[in-house]
Amino acid sequence: MDWQDERDELQRRQALAQNLGGADKIERQHKGGRLTVRERIDQILDPESFQEIGGLAGAYEYDEDGNISSHSPTNCVMGRGRVAGRPVVISGDDFTVRGGSADATIWEKAKYPESMAQELRLPIIRLIEGSGGGGSVKTIETKGRANLPGGLGTSSGFDLLAENMATVPVVALGLGSVAGLGAARLAASHYSVLVKETGAMFVAGPPVVKHVGEDLDKQQLGGHAIQTAAGGVDHAAESEEDAFECARRFLSYLPQSVYDLPPRGAQEDAVDRQDEMLDNIIPANTRKVYRMRKVVESLVDQGSFFEMGRMFGRSIITGLARVDGWPVALMASDPHFYAGAWTADACLKIIRFIDMAETFHLPVVYLADCPGFLVGSEAEQAGTIRHGVRAMTAINQSTVPWCSIIVRNSFGVAGGAHRPVGRYSVRYAWYTARWGSLPLEGGIEAAYSADLDAADDREAKLAEISERLNRLRSPYRTAEVFWIEDIIAPHRTRPLLCDFANLAAPLRTAGRSSFGMRP
């Protein structure tokens, strides 16, 4: 039997799928400075590794002889591929087909990659543009009915999105305007990126928002500057190619799923490297700041720090790094913002970051310089203490190995949350460190108000009390009673961190955490 007709039919249908929404729509995509979904998949995956699934799905019409007279593909291109040799699931929205709206969506196909990632225990990369299979008012006319959100047959599959957050690494890239369900899919990830200028994210776009009295363009409403500052997304990329590189690098620190352990990278940086610059980087004047990122870069394997959420909760720096090749979750105070105090936003950032470390079995390194919670009316109106105790709970509920380095300040309740209590953790303090229930500045006036009021020279009395207390609060006094394990010269820190990373490596245990991570 000759199968030539069947082979020809397959090739015709495959060619139709490659045409996406048509040449005119592809040209419009390119004129907008955006790649097509197939171009994106080819760029982010290893060459020739994409195995498409469901490429023949779509809306077909036939003439009276049974031949295809018209064809419109679904607005989802998905399958499996490889990133740096490791298998991943990938799903991409095709904006050239009805802008990604619901009337071009086959729901079973849209949910398929989420289910595949879950069952095969593979990371998933979402390339999101448009509403991501969400709604459009035109759907009422094209379908002849209105969709009931969450109804049978229109389910968004959010149960799978939530389950994947607890099981596999999820990366989401906003590569154009992202609204509604697409915005939810972008936010429901461990790492999210918007592309500057072309990317924007919102619950509803400018035309809808205009009806409630705000006339804003896409960037004003939900551009990268808005969303990174609000914590809606983690990072703003310079281009689509930059976003792809960010996704690949993020995945390199993580396991395939919670049932595996994060892979060790190359050990190319000397374990015994000691940077004497660190011995003088902390100013003696406690009102002066310093560059914490310079400290981080000096301590971790060179070039390995991958920061996440830089523009949100800015008194805390979070990111992934390698120490003697081992991936770690690194958190550090940033004295350039509120002197490193925990704000409400910083607490939310900490919660999410520690939960991710717990989910994927990453040891935590915390470089602490925290004068406590932010104080004042702004902090109270933001509910800082509520978010603060949630952050403390996240730290104390964590089970991964933990190493704290007290770099300078450790005051008050937030300062005390530099490590989980009730279990062993590695802890050191630099000789630049200082701590207490609250800083002397301001605290003396409260505790010694009677003495100060009775003094002939208030300023001289204040200086006398300050000098006396400063002698007593020396970190060495604390070390004498073993309330701090060890005080070290800063340049000794990297060898000790490498020792910690190697001690922590065999202690990691694969499997599901006791709670699932929420976005």
Note the pLDDT tens digit of each residue in 348-407.
999 999 999 999 999 999 999 999 999 999 999 999 999 999 999 999 999 999 999 999
Q: Supply 17's token pair.
A: 């799928």
Contacts of 5 (CB under 8 A, 6+ apart): none
Q: Give me the amino acid identity at 152.
A: L
Contacts of 20 (CB under 8 A, 6+ apart): 26, 36, 37, 38, 73, 94, 96, 97
Q: For the chain, state the CA radius of gyration.
A: 27
Q: How far is CA 382 from CA 264, 347, 348, 355, in A?
A: 40, 11, 11, 22
- Position 57 scores a pLDDT of 86
Q: Is the pLDDT of residue 439 over 80?
A: no
Using CA atoms, how far apart are residues 230 and 306, in angstroms rounded to an integer? 20
Q: Is the pLDDT of residue 309 over 60?
A: yes
Q: Supply 290's token pair.
A: 């310093």
* 235 and 320 both lie in a single domain: no
Question: Interhelix angle for 493-504 vs 292-299, to 10°?
Answer: 60
pLDDT tens digits along 183-227: 999 999 999 999 999 999 999 889 999 988 899 999 999 999 999
* 235 and 280 both lie in a single domain: no
Per-chain mean pLDDT for the chain: 90
* 281 and 395 both lie in a single domain: yes
- Tell me whether residue 449 is in a domain: no
Q: Supply 45's token pair.
A: 């995956």
* 107 and 29 both lie in a single domain: yes
- Position 2 scores a pLDDT of 85
The answer to which of 411-420, 440-449, 453-462 has the lowest mean pLDDT is 440-449
Give me the CATH number covering residue 214. Answer: 3.90.226.10
- Tell me whether residue 512 is in a domain: no
- Tell me whether residue 397 is in a domain: yes
* 129 and 19 both lie in a single domain: yes
* 43 and 155 both lie in a single domain: yes
- Tell me whether residue 126 is in a domain: yes
- Position 400 scores a pLDDT of 96
Q: Report CA 418 to chain centroid distance, whole Å.
A: 21
* 482 and 360 both lie in a single domain: yes
Mean pLDDT of 119-145: 77
For residue 514, give the nearest of 357, 397, 347, 339 by alpha carbon.
Answer: 397
- Tell me whether residue 518 is in a domain: no
- Position 441 scores a pLDDT of 65
- Tell me whether residue 514 is in a domain: no
* 302 and 242 both lie in a single domain: no
- Tell me whether residue 415 is in a domain: yes
Range of the domain at 369: 276-438+474-506
* 241 and 377 both lie in a single domain: no
* 233 and 304 both lie in a single domain: no
- Tell me whether residue 200 is in a domain: yes
Ramachandran assignment for 504, one of left (phi > 0), alpha (psi -120 to 50 degrees), beta (any other): alpha
Element (H or E) spanning 193, and its range?
strand 191-195
Contacts of 291 (CB under 8 A, 6+ apart): 281
Using CA atoms, how far apart are residues 490 and 480, in angstroms rounded to an integer? 20
Burial 294-325, CB ≥16 within 10 A → b, else e: ebbbbbbbeebbbbbbbbbbbbbbbbbbbbbb
For every residue of 451-514, DSSP letters joined together read HHHH-SSHHHHHHHHHHHHHHHT-HHHHHHTTSSS-EE-GGGHHHHHHHHHHHHGGG---S--S
* 27 and 85 both lie in a single domain: yes
pTM for this entry = 0.91
Q: Supply 48's token pair.
A: 């020739």
Q: How much of the chain, in percent, has pLDDT values that exceed 70?
A: 92
pLDDT tens digits along 52-61: 999 888 888 8
Domain count, the chain: 2
* 71 and 164 both lie in a single domain: yes
Q: Supply 264's token pair.
A: 């060790």
- Position 413 scores a pLDDT of 93
Q: Which position has the token pair 């009805």?
A: 98
